[in-house]
Each structure stands twice: as structure tokens, then as C-alpha cells.
């Protein structure tokens, strides 16, 4: 999670919400990184999770990320939760829960929906206080 928090810092100085993500392979190597770039790129799909998943898929050379773990600083939204399922990630670890848009238990639970063909293991709340404080600081500064 420390690596994902460090990745989130790359969004500082932009109008992007500081969310960071890393994909780690079964051996513990980081094979994908991403931070929010929606504002910087004008791309509505440029969420940290999607960018990290894309980078990991390029590294592996295919779309299946079996054996890999996505670590992200905020509970994924519905788009990102769908990408997690579709990429066949084995595990999702996230920090802060997102009561407004979270799709891994807060509003919806996309990744554990039994109707889908893949359900990763989920670990939530890892360093949640630290990640939440960084997000609150961003929004306080962004709205001032």
C-alpha cells in the first residue's frame, strides 16, 4: 500500500484526485503503476486502477492477470471494479472505503457478484486512515 500511496503523490499539482494503484505479480514484483490522470489527459477512463491494469497487461503480454494483486488507495468505482473482474486479477487490496461511489462493498459489490465468472479475493481498509486523510486534504485544498 505504501507504493500505491507514493504513486498517488504523482497526481499532486494537478486537478486530479490523488489516487494511486500498483499491480504486483505472484513473485511480489510491481508490474504496473498508475495514478489518476482524468483531468491531465481529458480521458474519463484514466483512473489509477485502469492505468495500472493496462501497464501490467502490457508487461505480461496479455490481458489475463492471473496470479496478480491490485493495490489501490481508494475503493474502486464500478468501472474499475469491472476492469478488475475482466482482467482476472486474483486479489484486490484497497485502503479507504468510498461511501459515495465504491463498488466493492460500499454502494455495490461488483467484484463479489456471484453472477460474474471471476471473483477476486478482497482486502479492504489497509492504511485507510492515511489514504483517507490525503484525500480529505486534497478536497479541502481543491475547494478553497
Active site residues: 49
Residue numbering of the annotated binding site = 47, 77, 80
Sequence-ordered alpha helix ranges (H) in the chain: 2-8, 38-41, 48-60, 78-86, 128-143
Nearest of 117, 124, 119, 138 to residue 35 by alpha carbon? 138
Contacts of 45 (CB under 8 A, 6+ apart): 79
| Conformation bin of residue 74: beta by default, left when phi > 0, alpha when psi is -120 to 50 | beta
Tell me which residue of 53, 49, 41, 54 sits closest to 15, measured CA to CA.
41
Angle, vertex CA 94, rays to CA 90 and CA 33, nearest 5: 75
Give the separation between CA 74 and CA 135, rounded to whole angstroms. 9
Amino acid at each position: 500500500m505504501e507504493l500505491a500511496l507514493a504513486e498517488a503523490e504523482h497526481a499532486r499539482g494537478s486537478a486530479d484526485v490523488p489516487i494511486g494503484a500498483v499491480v504486483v505479480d505472484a513473485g511480489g514484483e510491481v508490474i504496473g503503476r498508475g495514478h489518476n490522470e482524468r483531468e491531465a489527459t481529458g480521458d474519463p477512463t484514466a483512473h489509477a486502477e485502469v492505468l495500472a491494469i493496462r501497464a501490467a497487461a502490457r508487461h505480461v503480454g496479455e490481458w489475463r492477470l492471473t496470479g496478480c494483486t491490485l493495490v489501490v488507495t481508494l475503493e474502486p468505482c464500478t468501472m474499475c471494479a469491472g476492469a478488475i473482474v475482466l482482467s482476472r486479477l486474483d486479489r484486490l487490496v484497497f485502503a479507504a472505503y468510498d461511501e459515495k461511489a465504491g463498488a466493492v462493498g460500499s454502494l455495490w459489490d461488483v467484484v463479489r457478484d456471484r453472477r460474474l465468472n471471476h471473483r477476486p479475493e478482497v482486502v479492504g481498509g489497509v492504511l485507510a486512515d492515511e489514504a483517507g486523510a490525503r484525500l480529505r486534504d486534497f478536497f479541502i485544498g481543491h475547494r478553497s
